[in-house]
């Protein structure tokens, strides 16, 4: 599996505060990777180091085969970045905003209209940004990050403050981009988003990755090995272990038509998040 970026033992201190403390992980080419962690865990700091906006205190970070210390314009032209401060100009039209950023990016790769079509904003190209809805504006900000047709896209909370329908629109767009070959590294507080969208999830806590795997594997790992059944005429549910003895019980409940419902327990990504960050127990 090809690696598109990696961090090895990254440490980052602000004055005497240690934010990242031995951060080690890889992102593979063509995956959607989600970095999750409590507020203040260092997710934005991680993106800033990966995109060379700040340097680590120590450790190694490589993006597109280039060490973070030797980042240059060539590399920046191959990545797209969406962060809190990816602003757009409210008084300019949608099209003029993209024209401006195309000029800054010094790229001739992109046709603005194609880009606007891709994010579903072509019909609004003459609209002044301040008249756009929140979802449209977020798509414009996203198109700005896509202007250089990046191989690797960094998204810092791409759907925060969007309602579920607008988030779903962005998810669809991100999936399409991913299918077309863009690797996506995102941070999010939205556990459902992480579950639906990401091929792999890394949990960041106290400066380190404390868990990293596919959503499916994480759920299996943290699943309680129990089956919950509800029997006819009984208000409470019964939990039984997954073993031969339970199989016999369940068989007889089915045979005597006593069984009303039966469920295995699978934790949500949110429950796993709470567990690995020490906030709760499952
Ligand atoms: N330039 C800076 N100077 C000093 N401290 C900083 C700086 N940037 C970030 N920090 C601190 O580093 C820690 C991690 O911040 P960061 O923004 O990376 O967290 P985050 O995981 O992105 O949080 P959130 O989920 O709230 O966006 C915080 O305690 C923050 O106050
Ligand atoms: Mg952040």
pTM: 0.87
> DSSP letters along 65-127, please?
TEEGGG--HHHHTTEEEE-TT----TTSBHHHHHHHHHHHHT--S--HHHHHHHTT-GGGTTS
Averaged pLDDT in 10-residue chunks for the chain of 282 residues: 94 96 97 96 96 94 92 86 82 90 68 85 94 89 88 93 84 93 95 94 96 96 90 92 91 94 90 86 46
Task: Note the pLDDT of residue 199.
Answer: 98
Atom in ligand 1 nearest the alpha carbon of residue 42: 18
Q: Does the beta carbon of 43 lie inside 6 Å of ligand 1? A: yes
Tell me which residue has its CA closest to atom 9 in ligand 1.
Answer: 45
Cβ-Cβ contacts under 8 Å for 108 (sequence gap 6 or more): none
Q: How far is the CA of 164 from the centre of ligand 1 (A)?
A: 26
Q: What is the pLDDT of residue 274?
A: 92
From CA 189, how far away is CA 157, in angstroms rounded?
7
Instruction: Give the model's pLDDT for residue 281.
Output: 45
Which pair of structure tokens corresponds to residue 164?
Answer: 């579920």
Q: Whose CA is nearest to atom 2 of ligand 1?
A: 14
| Ligand 2 centroid – CA 22 distance (Å) | 19
Q: How far, in whole angstroms, is CA 184 from its chain's centroid? A: 8
Of ligand 1's listed atoms, the one at least distance from the Cα of 204 is 21
Question: What pLDDT is recorded for position 85?
Answer: 67
Tell me the CA–centroid distance for residue 234 and ligand 1, in Å.
51
pLDDT of res. 19: 98
Predicted local confidence at residue 257, as pLDDT: 94
């Amino acid at each position: 599996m090809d690696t598109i970026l990696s961090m090895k033992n990254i440490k980052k201190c602000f004055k005497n505060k240690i934010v990242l403390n031995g951060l080690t992980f890889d992102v593979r080419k063509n995956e959607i990777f989600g970095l999750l962690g409590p507020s203040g865990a260092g997710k934005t700091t991680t993106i800033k180091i990966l995109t060379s906006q700040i340097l680590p205190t120590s450790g190694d970070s490589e993006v597109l085969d280039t060490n973070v210390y030797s980042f240059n314009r060539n590399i920046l032209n191959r990545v797209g970045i969406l962060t809190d401060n990816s602003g757009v100009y409210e008084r300019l039209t949608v099209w003029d905003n993209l024209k401006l950023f195309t000029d800054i990016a010094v790229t001739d790769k992109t046709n603005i209209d194609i880009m606007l079509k891709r994010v579903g904003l072509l019909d609004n190209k003459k609209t002044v940004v301040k008249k756009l809805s929140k979802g449209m504006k977020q798509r414009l900000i996203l198109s700005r990050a896509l202007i250089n047709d990046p191989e690797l896209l960094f998204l810092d909370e791409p759907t925060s403050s969007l309602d579920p329908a607008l988030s779903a629109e962005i998810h669809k767009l991100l999936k399409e981009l991913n299918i077309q070959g863009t690797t996506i590294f995102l941070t999010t507080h939205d556990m459902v988003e992480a579950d639906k969208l990401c091929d792999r999830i890394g949990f960041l806590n106290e400066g380190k990755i404390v868990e990293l795997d596919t959503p499916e594997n994480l759920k299996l790992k943290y699943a309680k090995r129990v089956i919950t059944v509800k029997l006819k005429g009984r208000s409470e549910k019964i939990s039984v272990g997954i073993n031969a003895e339970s199989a016999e019980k369940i068989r007889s409940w089915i045979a005597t038509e006593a069984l009303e419902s039966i469920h295995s327990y699978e934790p949500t990504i949110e429950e796993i998040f709470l567990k690995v960050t020490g906030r709760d127990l499952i």
